[in-house]
Amino acid sequence: MISRWEGIDEFVAVAESGQFTAAAERMGVSSSHISRQIARLEERLQTRLLYRSTRRVTLSEAGQTFLQHCQRLQDGREEALRAMGDLASEPKGLLRMTCAVAYGERFIVPLVTRFMALYPQLRVEVELSNRTLDLLHEGMDLAIRLGRLADSRLVATRLAPRRMYLCASPAYLERYGRPHSLSELARHNCLVGSTDLWALQQDGREISQRVQGNWRCNSGQAVLDAALLGMGLCQLPDYYVLEHLNSGALVSLLEAHQPPNTAVWALYPQQRHLSPKVRRLVDYLKEGLAGMPEYRMV
């Protein structure tokens, strides 16, 4: 049975080198072998691919078109072989990554530490920062980002769901009442985190509602603690509040106006083939987050 690949490598070698002898040297075979394979290929295709002269080989119009397709096939084959080789290789070398401070401390750094224990040849540098670092400019391999994404130069892999909740403690609601519309937020004490713009929905549209209150802190845990003490309304991600919503320590509010679900993302620069260390870590983070109690309740 004739392989569909038979003659293709020989044809590309001749087309790129312009000579049968040069192609034979490149492939480590005889010139007669090259000639036979290309003749069989042309017979199989019923098309002349090459014009031969005593000094040089030129491509026919069909040969030029066929060469482009063959080169792409070769590239795809080599890419597949590299990918399979990477599966068997152990992550090693330096991996630089970044993540927001609070989320990184609570979820990402513990998982990365366990990952490193599995691969002792790997070195990892984690920069926890609430600034959106430019991965390409900063030389980062990976970023963990929350919510909506903007940078189209980066490839994104979804690691976990992320949903925002507007909530308050039963004690606060008993004292100040429950808001039934977005306009009523103005008369409530809102516990502000890193921004006083809360993402909400109205009439099917996403809006940003400015809120105010007597407490502000750029720590989600601090905002949660204040809400549990009955100090006001808060808007926090699911991994902070689900446990308390399930226990009744917090009550979800204005559910029809809650923003659409987003996600936790792994971002890395666009490249033809993702390095084994980044791919393995992304897979490990995805599996690890899914197994955490905070996400099993989502």
Domain locations in the chain as residue ranges: 8-88, 93-162+262-296, 164-257
User: Residue 1's pLDDT is what?
Assistant: 44
C-alpha distances out from residue 98 to 111, 147, 290, Å: 14, 15, 20
Confirm whether pTM is higher than 0.75.
Answer: no
* Pick from 292, 229, 261: nearest CA to 165: 261
pLDDT beyond 50 at 196: yes
Q: Are 59 and 50 in contact (CB under 8 A)?
A: yes
CATH topology of domain 164-257: D-Maltodextrin-Binding Protein; domain 2 (3.40.190)
pLDDT beyond 90 at 97: yes
Architecture, CATH, for domain 8-88: Orthogonal Bundle (1.10)
pLDDT beyond 90 at 54: no
Strand 142-146 to 93-99 pairing: parallel
Q: What is the pLDDT of residues 15-49, one digit of tens each?
A: 888 889 888 888 899 999 999 999 999 999 999 99
Domains 8-88 and 164-257 belong to one CATH topology: no
Which of 72-76, 90-94, 175-179, 261-265 holds the top average pLDDT?
Answer: 175-179
Q: Is 27 exposed, middle or buried (0-12, 13-18, 19+ CB in 10 A)?
A: middle
Confidence class of residue 151 from pLDDT cuts 50, 70 and 90? Answer: low
CATH number of 93-162+262-296: 3.40.190.10
Q: Are 112 and 105 in contact (CB under 8 A)?
A: no
CA dihedral 222, 140, 154, 72 (to 10 degrees): -150
Residue, of 88 and 233, whose pLDDT is higher: 233
